[in-house]
Structure 1
Amino acid sequence: MLKHYTSFRLSVLASLFLLLPGCIDQISADLPVPPNVLVVNSILTPDSVVRVQVSRVTSTVDSASRLLSSARVYLGTPSQGEELLRNQGRGLYVSPTKPVSGIPYTLRAEADGYPSASATDTMPAAIPIREAWYAYPTGTDRNNELLGTIVVRFDDPASTTNFYEITAYQRQGGRTDQSQNFVLDVRGNAALAAEGDAEFNPGSLVFSDRLFNGQAFELRASFHPFWGSGGGISNGQPVGPRVTGEVYVELRSISRAYYQYRKSWTRHFYNQGTKGPSGDLNQLLFLGDPTRMYSNVNGGYGVAASHAVVVQPLPLR
């Protein structure tokens, strides 16, 4: 089956390449001038100093660097005023400050010839994991390949709207295989189904507490282990994927800005036709319409968002 699919894919691509030379023509057009605004990006976390990247919007024919090393970037809080960040070159600006939960932080960037751009976000508090574990194997998929199960339980704070991101990975010999390859299948979970992300093959689980505000929450997800961590030949026979090394789960408490940005990024990434390591032929031939990325930057583009993370090893049950 794979051989026929590969041959079909190659034949389609070859046909496209044969047709393209006859379809190329040069035309003159006045391209619209891109907006003269700054792009400010930063992810704030309580266990790291503040790092901000500043760049500019450019056109496709602009060969100059997008990164701005001549900007002035300030970090402000209601109680301590503004602090000028240290310029490290190549558009990177750093403060020794480590954000604290519950405090709104404002980033403001200035550069000669550009309007000022600013964004504000409040660091959420980390939510502890009450219980978590994994089991393997617990079933098979439609291709008769073995599946495992991960269970994560935590208590959602009441009277506030909270947002979360969950990823899982396994570590073997000091090497970490992150969650873009460790896909969690959560079909049947109402809170995740309500997000409408499943069809976009998200690399992590991003969701709100809209359906369980103030209640205990349980995530039960199936997963495939990595081929690379257990595959090979044993006694002359091929060995399938299996769980080796330590398994971890990350529970991130994320801000509303992070939640909205991450969901828009998932749709944008899917729309590029890069759904996986080998892509997808239908996506390659029939890309979707462009999608707008979320931004909370006033006077510019980009995002300033925050999250607090709890990492916990999972025992085998």
Structure 2
Amino acid sequence: MGGRWDASKGSTIFGTRSMPDGSFLMAGSPRVLPSAHSAMLVSDPIQCQEGDGLIIFRYWTSPMVRLRACVRRPSMGRRFDWCSDDVTVGDPGPAKITIPGSLQHTFEIVIEAYNFVLSAFGQEGGAAIIDDISYYSPAVYNCRTIAHRPPSTMWPSSLCATFSCGSMPNSSCLSSLGADWSLSSSSVLSHHLGIRHSLHGNYAFTRGPSTSSLIFSAFSLPSSALLEFCVYSASESGVLTVYSTAENTESRVELFHLPSSTGHNWSCNSVELASGTYKGIEFAVEGLENEWHSIGIDEISLIDPVTYQSICRR
């Protein structure tokens, strides 16, 4: 249908003075309906979807009316294969809904309005209006199978401040992480028990017989991440253990344990960090028998497990 409504009444009903441009689609009821009764806008059949699809539309809903997008096989009524959460961005949107992953069969997209249950202030039922609908997919014929990729996490900038010294850029940075560590970009100590070469520029190393730790201070993760690091140990006696300490606890949790030599090579590893707040991460070295035994550490960084890119690009 087309036309415009009274702006003042529209603001009262829909909570916005914005209106559709030209023609629009409207569904509603002048009386209270059971909450499951719905109006459905159904697309033409689509042969397939390659990877994630995206539906975008503007909408207006009266109080208590809900909108969602669903996927079904043709002519299956309300037997949906998938439905989004209710749209909550606020009238008039736009609503942007991701249909996750490839669909290798013919399907229909359904925009469903339901919950016409208002009974207050002399008003009953409700209304829903939709305008400017679009659907995007990389392909709708001869589709490849591509898994759904969740949206990337928005990582706080404070994370990068905490791990800014992970690539061992300079000695002052290293000294902020712990004592008994030195910086080098070439070989150190003996050819047999020392470190013969760097990984990428500077690295941190410690020698026996003392116990040494590198400690990264408190930080928070809104989502799980990978802690990546590289280690060089020519000593059979030296042990590297990585610990995390969560907020509101004094107990350390062991994340990684290297009990023996890596040969004369850098070995890069990663461990998962669950979402949450941490008091710190500790790289603890012990068991180096004397000053000729050493362990090197480099390239400590956080990795986004979805994109496998560094959270803090250098």
Do they superpose with TM above 0.5?
no
TM-score by length of 2: 0.27
Of the two structures, which has the highest relative contact order with CA contacts closer than 8 Å and spacing of 6 or more? 1
TM-score by length of 1: 0.26
Larger Rg: 2
Higher helix share: 1
